[in-house]
Amino acid sequence: MIFVKGLKDIPSNLKSPSITIGNFDGVHLGHQALFKKTIECARLQEGDSIAITFHPHPIRVLRPEIPLKLICDLEQKIEWISEQGIDILVCIPFTKKFASTSATNFVKDILVEKLKVSNLIVGYDYSFGRNREGNINFLKAQGALYHFNVHVVSPVVVDSLIVSSTLIRELVSEGKIEVAFKMLGRPFELKGEVVEGARRGGPLLGFPTANILVREDQLCPKVGVYAVIVNVECKEYEGVLNVGYNPTFGGEQLSAEVHIFDFSQDIYGKIIRIKLIKRLRDEKKFSSPKALINQIQKDILNAKMAISNFLKCGKPL
């Protein structure tokens, strides 16, 4: 996949482009349906499949007062869209000025004149442009005017719920990561830098943990204990993640820390990716460190079981 930042560096020799547009936070099954349709349209015409996305997320720019927690960062988005088989990903820097572009001008200047769109693929609920005036009826009318096809992709339904980034954010913050998993088509991933923790896990409990810096703008799973697969410098390890306040030690600050099995490297400052496979339990206040140690031993056994089931059949049991 070719990644293009901004509209200036778009290759000039595009072949009858099939284009999809969206924010694609999480690159979930709904987004994946759009990419499949886009690639299918491109194949039929032996043309290029193109995805257009925006960064930062438009809500961040237009409604900064909304505390939007994103499922993924730009790097994850690029990686996951690339895995879908899209030829070119165009990322438009989203500014207030760009947001004031009318839907008419976006279609004429960017889709038609710049990209020479042949097929436009959008989700059933799509709208864009100043005041969201670019809805599906508008796009169909523009398609008739400029001779491009508009394909509307139906919603994807999982457990009788329509897959959406908003719903996945809710599910993850409620700890329903198994449902989020089904909607994403992959485990929810918590990514972050390993930072200094309380330095209690190793010396006191015998379970050293890597503490992750969870940024303000990042979606954090509900407090609790999870079976996880951790990616450290492209290698995968199994582990248990605790998101919580460490009430046994009277903690007040939220932390996310992962105990990685059979692992003793110093990884301070490294960015790691934690795939949440199964939620194991709530965080609890234990009467003593000893009682907590007993529970963590059980957590580790439960995590190993959940991960082994996941590796066998691709889903948590």
Binding site for ligand RBF (CB under 6 A): 197-198, 200-201, 205, 207, 209, 225, 240, 242, 246-249, 257, 259, 283-286, 292, 296, 299
- Partner touching 220 among ligand RBF, Mg ion, none, CB below 5 to 8 Å by kind: none
Q: Cβ 206 to ligand RBF, closest distance in Å?
A: 10
The C-alpha angle 203, 266, 283, rounded to 5 degrees, equals: 50
User: In a 3-state reduction of DSSP, which class is residue 256?
Assistant: strand
What is the smallest separation between the CB atom of 257 and Mg ion, expressed in angstroms?
A: 5
Residue closer to Mg ion (CB basis): 19 or 260: 260
Q: Please, what is the minimum distance in Å from the beta carbon of residue 278 to Mg ion? A: 22
Q: Which two tokens stand for residue 191?
A: 């990514």
- Pick between residue 172 and residue 243 the one whose CB is nearest to ligand RBF: 243
Residue 269 CB, nearest approach to Mg ion (Å): 14
One-letter amino acid at 205 equals L
Q: Which of 259, 270, 168, 258 is nearest to 219 (CA)?
A: 168
CA nearest 121: which of 201, 57, 31, 193?
Answer: 31
Among 38, 211, 242, 246, binds Mg ion (CB under 5 A): 211
The site partner of 191 among Mg ion, ligand RBF, none (C-beta below 5 to 8 Å per kind) is: none
Question: To 5 degrees, how large is the angle CA 73–CA 77–CA 51?
Answer: 135
Q: Which is nearer to Mg ion, 58 or 251 (CB)?
A: 251
For residues 10 and 117, the answer to whether their CB atoms sit within 8 Å is: no
Instruction: Return all residues near 88 (Cβ < 8 A) that are at least 6 apart.
Output: 1, 2, 3, 4, 10, 11, 14, 48, 49, 50, 51
In eight-state DSSP terms, residue 115 is T
- Closest approach of ligand RBF to the CB of residue 219, in Å: 21
Per-residue mark of binding to Mg ion, 250-279 (x: CB under 5 A): -------x----------------------
Minimum distance of ligand RBF from residue 250's CB (angstroms): 9
Residue 250 or 314: which CB sits closer to ligand RBF?
250
